[in-house]
């Protein structure tokens, strides 16, 4: 870095989001950027470490170290500081096919491994990436790149979530003919219907898909392979298949009353809310509106937070979020040292909104729903909860209910945000693919090649439930392996 002492001169300055009372009145994106000069100062805080962990792209004991995409972050930061924004964007695009997605929804694994972050607040890498995307869009840097030559092969990518889009992009750039099959009415997978519009405006996805179409990629929508699209058609017409359908099997709330009316999977609730917005109404199933309702959310991850923020915008009467894990520590513990991803308490945008609207943090830690109570019509009216302590006997985890901790919480809508257990079985079984102990599509170590000769898998269908950035990595790597297989 030209300004080598900037990390001593400038404090971390994060993006200022839209005021809570303003943003909860709509579903518009809440991200705002700092002025350009402030962003350049933030980029200058990068220490240009001799060994930069921010882009290590490693995983140790299930925790990430640095950016899985191995973005060249110190180089990007230096170019931003020097005002060379075009060059900084091109440097970022060398490793990241879709900065517009990661700059909005990635949890910034890079910042968790920033060397400055060992003792001071880390560099605002995610905000800088978001800025570069906004700059690129405004100045016309995002434009089609049509391959000069074609191999003559045809590849079908099944699923248009982040893994499918990344895979299709790289296969196309390598000269393969690519058709993406998406069973929904719009491309994007969970980016379209699983991530709320206030985090990721759907126009951002549509804009990227239009560029991909101009680059030569075909999209078939409302196309369920194994349903209205015969699997045999793909096997006959394409030289290879890449399965990027995600891990669509949601974990159920397996307690008495778990199937009552008003108990809804989080992904169904979020999909419904997005459809109402972008279709300007809803003509399908029941509209899952939280207006005037007492809402209970079971699950403390990103999806639970998105449900919380959505319910607030729908004018829920109350919202409480139960998380079975204990409250995380405020700072790193000795067992969670830098540069591992810090397992610490984070208060995300949805919790901040709830604190301002309802006057309290909606999260209740170390607590689980043990029963859902219904009325005579089979509709939920309450959730019975209890607190639990956790102990270990070797590797075995033992949960014990705290005596006298049981409570009855009013509930008109219970949202299950407990994650996903694996891919749907339709295609897996039809192709006779091997699966691993988690139910994910099995491949060789370090490979994306399934047990069937011309079939590959990437993203959550292969990795298990994970982050958008890991789905992008898997899509890119599966594309390279598929291309090598076809051109061997």
DSSP secondary structure letters along 416-450: E---EEE--HHHHHHHT--B-TTSSBP--TT--B-
167 and 25, same domain (yes or no) = no
Q: What is the pLDDT of residue 234?
A: 97
Contact 457, 432 (CB under 8 A): no
* Domain span holding position 195: 154-248+421-486
Q: What is the pLDDT of residue 61?
A: 81
d(CA 244, CA 445): 18
What SS3 class is residue 297?
strand
CA atoms 82, 86, 87, 92: torsion sign = positive
160 and 198, same domain (yes or no) = yes
Minimal CA–CA distance to 300: which of 345, 330, 249, 254?
345
pLDDT over 80 (residue 60): yes
Contact 443, 450 (CB under 8 A): yes
Contact 269, 188 (CB under 8 A): no
Residue pLDDT, tens place only, 263-273: 999 999 999 99
Length of the chain, please?
Answer: 488
Q: What is the pLDDT of residue 283?
A: 54
* Degrees to nearest 5, angle at CA 149 with 146 and 154: 90
Domain for residue 148, yes or no? no
- Residue the block writes with tokens 């607030």: 312
pLDDT confidence band for 392 (50 / 70 / 90): confident
pLDDT confidence band for 16 (50 / 70 / 90): confident
13 and 120, same domain (yes or no) = yes
Average pLDDT of span 244-249? 95
Domain for residue 145, yes or no? no
Residue pLDDT, tens place only, 421-433: 999 999 999 999 9
Minimal CA–CA distance to 257: which of 383, 409, 421?
383
Domain boundary among 418, 434, 464: 418
Domain for residue 109, yes or no? yes
Residue pLDDT, tens place only, 421-477: 999 999 999 999 999 998 999 999 999 999 999 999 999 999 999 999 999 999 999
Domain for residue 146, yes or no? no
Q: What is the pLDDT of residue 285?
A: 54
Domain for residue 149, yes or no? no
- The partner residues of 319 in beta bridges, in order of sequence, read 295
Domain holding 314: CATH number?
3.50.50.60
Phi/psi region, residue 246 (left: phi>0; alpha: psi -120 to 50; beta: rest), is: left
184 and 333, same domain (yes or no) = no
332 and 257, same domain (yes or no) = yes
- Residue the block writes with tokens 């945000």: 417
193 and 225, same domain (yes or no) = yes
Domain for residue 296, yes or no? yes
* Degrees to nearest 5, angle at CA 105 with 18 and 338: 105
358 and 477, same domain (yes or no) = no
What SS3 class is residue 434?
coil
Contact 456, 240 (CB under 8 A): yes
Q: What is the pLDDT of residue 281?
A: 58
Q: Number of folded domains in the chain?
A: 3
Contact 157, 244 (CB under 8 A): yes
DSSP secondary structure letters along 150-195: --S-EEEEE--SHHHHHHHHHHHHTT-EEEEE-SSSSS-THHHHTS
Compute φ and ψ for 439, nearest 5 degrees: 90, 0
Domain holding 126: CATH number?
1.10.1060.10
Residue pLDDT, tens place only, 290-342: 999 999 999 999 999 999 999 999 999 999 999 999 999 999 999 999 999 99
Q: How far is CA 112 from the centre of its chain?
A: 17
pLDDT confidence band for 149 (50 / 70 / 90): very high
Domain boundary among 139, 168, 184: 139
294 and 224, same domain (yes or no) = no
Domain for residue 92, yes or no? yes
103 and 120, same domain (yes or no) = yes
Minimal CA–CA distance to 28: which of 201, 192, 280, 190?
201
Domain for residue 144, yes or no? no
193 and 226, same domain (yes or no) = yes
Domain boundary among 377, 399, 418: 418
379 and 461, same domain (yes or no) = no
Average pLDDT, the chain: 95
286 and 304, same domain (yes or no) = yes
């Amino acid at each position: 870095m030209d300004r080598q002492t900037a990390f001593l001169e400038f404090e971390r300055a994060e993006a200022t989001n839209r005021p809570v009372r303003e943003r909860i009145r709509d579903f518009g994106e809440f991200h705002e950027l700092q002025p350009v000069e402030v962003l350049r100062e933030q980029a200058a805080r990068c220490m240009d470490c001799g060994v930069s962990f921010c882009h290590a792209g490693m995983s140790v004991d299930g925790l990430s170290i640095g950016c899985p995409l191995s973005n060249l972050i110190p180089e990007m930061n230096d170019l931003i500081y020097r005002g060379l924004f075009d060059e900084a964007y091109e440097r970022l695009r060398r490793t990241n096919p879709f900065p517009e997605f990661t700059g909005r929804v990635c949890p910034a694994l890079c910042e968790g491994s920033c060397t400055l972050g060992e003792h001071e607040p880390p560099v605002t890498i995610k905000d800088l990436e978001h800025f570069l995307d906004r700059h690129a869009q405004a100045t016309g840097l995002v434009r089609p790149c049509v391959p000069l030559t074609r191999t003559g092969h045809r590849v079908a990518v099944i699923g248009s979530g982040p893994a499918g889009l990344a895979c299709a992009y790289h296969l196309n750039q390598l000269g393969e003919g690519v058709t993406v099959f998406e069973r929904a009415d719009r491309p994007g997978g969970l980016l379209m219907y699983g991530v709320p519009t206030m985090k990721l405006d759907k126009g951002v996805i549509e804009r990227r898909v239009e560029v991909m179409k101009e680059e030569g990629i075909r999209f078939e929508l409302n196309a369920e392979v194994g349903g209205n699209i015969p699997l045999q058609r793909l096997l006959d017409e394409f030289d290879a298949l890449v399965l990027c359908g995600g891990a669509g099997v949601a974990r159920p709330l397996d307690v008495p009353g778990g199937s009552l009316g008003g108990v809804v999977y989080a992904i169904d609730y979020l999909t419904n809310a997005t459809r109402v917005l972008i279709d300007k109404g809803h003509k399908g199933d029941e509209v899952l509106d939280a207006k005037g309702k007492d809402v209970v959310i079971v699950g403390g991850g990103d999806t639970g937070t998105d449900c919380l923020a959505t319910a607030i915008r729908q004018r829920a009467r109350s919202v409480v979020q139960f998380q079975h894990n204990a409250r995380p520590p405020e700072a790193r513990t000795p067992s969670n040292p830098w540069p591992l991803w810090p397992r610490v308490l984070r208060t995300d945008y949805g919790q901040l909104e709830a604190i301002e609207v309802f006057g309290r943090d909606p999260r209740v830690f170390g607590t689980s729903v043990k029963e859902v109570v219904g009325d005579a019509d089979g509709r939920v009216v309450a959730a019975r909860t209890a607190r639990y302590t956790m102990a270990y006997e070797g590797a075995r985890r033992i949960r014990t209910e705290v005596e006298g901790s049981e409570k009855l919480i009013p509930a008109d809508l219970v949202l299950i945000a407990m994650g996903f257990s694996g891919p749907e079985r339709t295609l897996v079984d039809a192709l006779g693919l091997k699966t691993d102990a988690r139910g994910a599509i099995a491949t060789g170590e370090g490979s994306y090649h399934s047990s069937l000769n011309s079939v590959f898998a990437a993203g959550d269908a292969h990795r298990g439930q994970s982050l958008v950035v890991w789905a992008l990595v898997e899509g890119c790597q599966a594309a390279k392996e598929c291309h090598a297989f076809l051109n061997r």
